[in-house]
């Protein structure tokens, strides 16, 4: 008899019955079981895996129930038009960038944007200028863009057509988006927002604001990351100043022509849920998160970051005017220097708690209204009994660095012949790859940028300290000639 390795692997994971402090937002189906409408959908979900038959409309030419559902989505979030996506925020970022920009346009983008954005920049042949990302000096957590650097960039690049930002970042940290949008407007630039982790924003006054309400021109949200919707589902919202015909074309071009109605129905449900129950349930969840944050912090072993930590930035003690905010339904669970975030994530898994991700000093946990008080308590107990000795790890300082010089655009690098060489011989060459140490996950060099002596020193420093560096293979780097 043949085997089913994939099915067996997933069933084994399900049988572990872990507490799911991670995506998807429906938390193993609990989000559907919360309401009578959801229970009905849950029971019939697999039967809802249908295709376009009479009476159920067509995603690519919506005129019936899909259109009606997308209109409700648009009204709830406050867009001009909203789309259901069945290929994740990945497809949303591609469609958004192709709709808003033309070949050869200059854009301003955060340096550690999601790879789907970077891929779209290559495919659309855009000319990126990067906003530097910061690292919180005390907690070694990546922070979003810095106002001062952004202000400098926008003044230096008045010919840019638009700005692409991530709001919030994976850690749930947000910058002052209103400021960025107002400034961009003054310069006649579009603002596109990758809000993959922010589909619940605006549901409660205690959460950061929904980017559409702040005037963003286009916004992508993963429904599956925080809402009760199936994995792969996402929303694209269009605000002012965008050609809807182009968006219609690119959305259709980047989506399967056979979208599962399970996906579509779960998005209809996610919007229904957040509209009907969002405010009350998120207020409640944020209270539970705050209470348990206090309990965990009182253990004196770990530290869950809070709003008061957003002011103390990156080494300088001056009053910071960045006005960062955070998603209070997510924990950045920090371990002291000399201990490992990765080991803590593994420890939690052994104790049947699945966290979302880890870096060298932090574990990120994603909560939704379907997580019970008992689940939070299990986390507290696991942390309380954790033997810190088992988490020990030598501390590696994260390095700041200057932005390299761009010699070529990423799309130009794609078509050049690549030469693989020893890193230490690559001074003054042009990198063909993004070189990204994890942590902090911020590229040291991007394709088309010049490799300097200092760049090599930083990469060697990380390699010496056994940090994973993507883009370096056995001490070798890929380069191109001008
Ligand atoms: C910031 C950000 N943008 C976009 C994506 C892509 O989203 P999806 O997995 O829904 O395609 C992710 C996924 O992790 C993300 O973290």
Q: What tens-digit pLDDT sequence spans the chain (482 residues)? A: 999 999 999 999 999 999 999 999 999 999 999 999 999 999 999 999 999 999 999 999 999 999 999 999 999 999 999 999 999 999 999 999 999 999 999 999 998 899 999 999 999 999 999 998 888 888 988 888 888 889 999 999 999 999 999 999 999 999 999 999 999 999 999 999 999 999 999 999 999 999 999 999 999 999 999 999 999 999 999 999 999 999 999 999 999 999 999 999 999 999 999 999 999 999 999 999 999 999 999 999 999 999 999 875 555 544 567 889 999 999 999 999 999 999 999 999 999 999 999 998 999 999 999 999 999 999 999 999 999 999 999 998 887 778 899 999 999 999 899 999 999 999 999 999 999 988 778 889 999 999 999 999 999 988 988 888 999 999 999 999 98
Beta-bridged to residue 325, according to DSSP, are 174
pLDDT at 320: 62
- pLDDT value at position 26? 98
DSSP character for 397? P
Number of neighbouring beta carbons within 10 Å of residue 137: 16
Distance 42 CA to ligand 1 centre (A): 25
Q: Is the peptide bond before 439 cis (omega within 30 degrees of 0)?
A: yes
Instruction: Please identify, by atom number, the ligand 1 atom nearest to the C-alpha of residue 233.
Output: 10
10 Å CB burial of residue 178 (0-12, 13-18, 19+) is: middle
Nearest ligand 1 atom, CA 232: 10
Report in angstroms the alpha-carbon separations of 462 from 340, 448, 455.
16, 22, 11
Best residue among 87, 88, 89 to mutate for probing ligand 1, ranked by most atoms within 8 Å of CB: 89
Q: How far is the CA of 23 from the centre of ligand 1 (A)?
A: 11
Atom of ligand 1 nearest to the CA of 169: 1
- CB of 334 closer than 8 Å to CB of 302: yes
Distance CA 26, CA 101 (A): 34
User: Which atom of ligand 1 lies nearest, measured to the CA of 170?
Assistant: 16
Task: Say if CB 232 and CB 58 are below 8 A apart.
Answer: no
Closest CA to 443 of 128, 167, 104: 128
- Residues in contact with ligand 1 by the CB-under-6-Å rule are 88-90, 93, 114, 116, 166, 170, 194, 196, 222, 234
Residue 474 sits at the vertex; the CA angle it makes with 471 and 480, to the nearest 5 degrees, is 50
Contact (Cβ atoms closer than 8 angstroms) between residue 195 and residue 165: no
User: Distance between CA 369 and CA 281 in Å, rounded?
Assistant: 6
What per-residue confidence (pLDDT) applies to 313? Answer: 55
Runs of H (alpha helix) within 299-421: 341-350, 373-384, 410-414
Q: pTM surpassing 0.85?
A: yes
CA pair distance 162, 216, nearest whole angstrom: 11
Q: Tokens 């010089």 map to which residue?
A: 405
What stretches of 351-394 show up as alpha helix (H) in DSSP? 373-384
pLDDT at residue 135, rounded to an integer? 84
Burial class of residue 156, CB neighbours in 10 A (0-12, 13-18, 19+): exposed
């Amino acid at each position: 008899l043949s085997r089913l390795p994939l099915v067996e692997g997933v069933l084994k994971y399900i049988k572990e019955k872990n507490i799911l402090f991670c995506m998807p937002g429906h938390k193993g189906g609990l989000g559907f079981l919360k309401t009578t409408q959801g229970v009905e959908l849950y029971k019939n979900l697999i039967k809802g895996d249908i295709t376009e038959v009479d009476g159920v409309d067509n995603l690519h030419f919506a005129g019936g129930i899909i259109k009606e559902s997308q209109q409700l989505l648009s009204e709830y979030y406050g867009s001009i038009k909203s789309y259901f996506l069945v290929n994740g925020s990945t497809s949303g970022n591609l469609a958004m960038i192709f709709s808003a920009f033309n070949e050869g346009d200059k854009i301003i983008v955060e340096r550690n944007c999601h790879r789907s954005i970077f891929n779209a920049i290559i495919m659309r042949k855009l000319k990126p200028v990067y906003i530097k990302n910061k690292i919180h000096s005390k907690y070694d957590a990546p922070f979003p863009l810095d106002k001062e650097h952004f202000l400098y960039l926008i003044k230096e690049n008045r010919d840019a057509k638009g700005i692409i930002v991530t709001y919030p970042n994976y850690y749930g940290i947000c910058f002052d988006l209103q400021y960025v949008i107002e400034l961009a407007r003054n310069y006649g630039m579009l603002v596109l927002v990758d809000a993959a982790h922010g589909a619940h924003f605006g549901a409660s006054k205690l959460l950061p604001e929904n980017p559409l309400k702040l005037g963003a021109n286009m916004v992508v949200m993963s429904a599956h990351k925080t809402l009760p919707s199936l994995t792969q589902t996402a929303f694209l919202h269009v605000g002012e100043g965008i050609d809807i015909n182009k968006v219609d074309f690119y959305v259709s071009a980047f989506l399967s022509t056979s979208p599962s109605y399970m996906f579509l129905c779960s998005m209809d449900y996610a919007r229904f849920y957040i509209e009907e129950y969002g405010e009350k349930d998120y207020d409640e969840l944020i209270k539970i998160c705050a209470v348990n944050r206090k309990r965990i912090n009182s253990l004196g072993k770990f530290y869950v970051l809070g709003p008061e930590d957003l002011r103390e930035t990156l080494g300088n003690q001056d009053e910071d005017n960045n006005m960062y905010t955070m998603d209070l339904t997510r924990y950045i669970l920090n371990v002291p220097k000399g201990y490992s975030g990765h080991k803590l994530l593994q420890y939690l898994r052994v104790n049947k708690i699945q966290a979302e991700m880890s870096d060298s000093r932090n574990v990120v946990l994603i909560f939704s209204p379907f997580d019970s008080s008992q689940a939070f308590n299990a986390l507290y107990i696991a942390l309380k009994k954790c033997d810190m000795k088992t988490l020990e790890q030598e501390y590696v300082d994260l390095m700041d660095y200057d932005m390299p010089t761009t010699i070529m655009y990423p799309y130009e690098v794609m078509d050049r012949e690549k030469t693989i060489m020893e890193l230490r011989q690559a001074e003054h060459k042009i990198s063909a790859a993004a070189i990204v140490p994890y942590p902090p996950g911020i590229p040291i060099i991007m394709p088309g940028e010049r490799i300097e002596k200092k760049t090599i020193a930083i990469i060697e420093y990380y390699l010496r300290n056994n940090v994973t560096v993507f883009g370096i293979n056995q001490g070798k780097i890929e380069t191109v000639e001008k």
